């Protein structure tokens, strides 16, 4: 990351990062202050004392709050999300379906200190014990988010839940300030995209950066009272960045739906495809319980005993021959 040009990015997400060189932390601070988005995810490599010294107790603090020690919950008593800020843009995908936010289970998280008195910190998600799970702080023109648990399954089963994808999608979109792009109709490959600009001279370049990072050019031409630039050299679907004479812009490019199947895969079809493996379908609300009740446990003790006896027998034969 020390060799990356942060100005080429709209958001940076650090998942369980132990340490970065001091000059990189300084670059990230400047990146956020000038309008970038930054998110932290906790994990076993995140050391609270080190993070606080480098990122909170400093003239250029990146952390929204000082970090406390990790809280470990019993395996049989994980926490769930008890409250959320319904007015925050991250929560808009869950309007009317708030119950799916209550299904993920959290077994370990980092305590965030002093959140009650921090008027400039917004608590987006809160656990049953009242501790924050996700907080936000504005820094200059940018935003910093801190997620107090892991992005993978080390400390939580969130990645296995329905809420995970829309939550992560919303997090990345919020950091990158893509709300305007989400409201703009995109194009379907391979249909050409036409960008109109009334006051641009013919021959002016329109730079397009594809979703996989390729830089391509189109040129404006005059059509009646305006100038237009046409682009159809798509590489992959995704969010394309435009560098126009009027400033930066975004273009959502979608794949054709012709080959997609949107119908839900049925239970019988799943079992046929996976045969002879056992397939157990369970409701998300009961996730994790059905498998233990329906799949027979396989005892390995008997097999290991047979293997052990066989090994001893072979050793006995060889010792007698010697």
Q: What is the DSSP string of 91-120?
A: GGGGTT-GGGGGS--BSEEEEETTGGG-TT
CATH code 2.60.40.10 region(s) in the chain: 184-254
Query: Using CA atoms, how far apart are residues 255 and 187, in angstroms rounded to an integer?
Result: 9
Structure tokens at 107: 């077994």
> For residue 223, what are the β-bridge partners?
226
What does the pLDDT read at residue 133?
97
pTM: 0.62
Return residue ranges of the chain for CATH 3.40.50.880: 6-180
Best CATH choice for the domain 184-254 from the list 1.10.12.10, 3.40.50.720, 3.40.50.10190, 2.60.40.10: 2.60.40.10
Dihedral sign, Cα of residue 213, residue 62, residue 122, residue 148 = positive
Q: What is the pLDDT of residue 114?
A: 93
Q: Per CATH, the architecture of 6-180 is what? A: 3-Layer(aba) Sandwich (3.40)
Residue 295: its pLDDT value, please? 43
pLDDT tens, per residue, the chain with 322 residues = 667 788 888 899 999 999 999 999 999 999 999 989 999 999 999 999 999 999 999 988 999 999 999 999 999 999 999 999 988 888 887 877 888 999 999 999 999 999 999 999 999 999 999 999 999 999 998 999 999 999 999 999 999 998 998 899 889 888 887 654 444 556 888 889 888 877 788 899 999 999 999 999 999 998 887 888 999 999 988 889 888 887 778 888 888 755 555 456 677 777 787 788 777 777 666 665 544 444 444 455 566 676 777 777 767 666 666 5
CB of 1 within 8 A of CB of 24? Answer: yes
DSSP 136-191: EEEETTEEEEEESS-SSSSSBSGGGSTTHHHHHHHHHHHHTT-HHHHHS--EETTS
pLDDT attached to residue 129? 95
Helix/strand/coil for 79 = strand
Report the length, in residues, of the chain.
322
What's residue 183's pLDDT?
A: 46
Alpha helices by DSSP H, the chain: 22-33, 48-55, 164-175, 179-183, 267-274, 290-294, 301-321
Nearest to 142 by CA among 269, 240, 7, 19: 7
């Amino acid at each position: 990351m020390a060799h990356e040009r942060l100005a080429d990015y709209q958001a940076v997400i650090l998942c369980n990062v132990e340490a970065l060189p001091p000059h990189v932390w300084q670059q990230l601070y400047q990146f956020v202050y000038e309008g970038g988005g930054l998110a932290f995810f906790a994990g076993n490599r995140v050391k609270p004392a080190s993070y606080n010294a480098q990122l909170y107790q400093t003239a250029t603090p990146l952390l929204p709050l000082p970090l406390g020690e990790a809280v470990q919950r019993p395996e049989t008593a994980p926490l769930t999300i008890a409250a959320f800020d319904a007015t925050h843009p991250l929560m808009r995908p869950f309007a009317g379906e708030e119950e799916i936010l209550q299904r993920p289970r959290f077994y370990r998280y980092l305590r965030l200190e002093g959140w009650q008195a921090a008027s400039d910190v917004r608590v987006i998600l809160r656990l049953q014990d009242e501790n924050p799970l996700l907080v936000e702080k504005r820094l200059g023109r940018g935003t910093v988010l801190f997620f107090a648990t892991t992005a993978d399954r080390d400390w939580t089963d969130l990645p296995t839940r329905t809420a995970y994808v829309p939550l992560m999608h919303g997090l990345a979109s919020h950091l990158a300030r893509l709300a305007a792009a989400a409201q703009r109709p995109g194009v379907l490959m391979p249909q050409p995209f036409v960008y109109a600009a009334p006051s641009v001279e013919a021959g002016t370049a329109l730079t397009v950066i594809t979703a996989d990072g390729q830089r391509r050019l189109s040129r404006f031409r005059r059509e009646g009272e305006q100038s237009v630039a046409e682009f159809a050299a798509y590489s992959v679907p995704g969010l394309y960045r435009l560098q126009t004479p009027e400033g930066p812009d975004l273009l959502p490019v979608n794949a054709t739906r012709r080959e997609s199947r949107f119908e839900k895969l049925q239970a019988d079809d799943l079992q046929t495809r996976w045969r002879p493996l056992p397939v157990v379908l369970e409701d998300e609300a009961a996730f994790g319980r059905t498998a233990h009740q329906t799949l027979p446990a396989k005892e390995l003790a008997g097999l290991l005993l047979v293997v052990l006896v066989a090994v001893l027998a072979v050793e006995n034969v060889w010792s007698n021959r010697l």
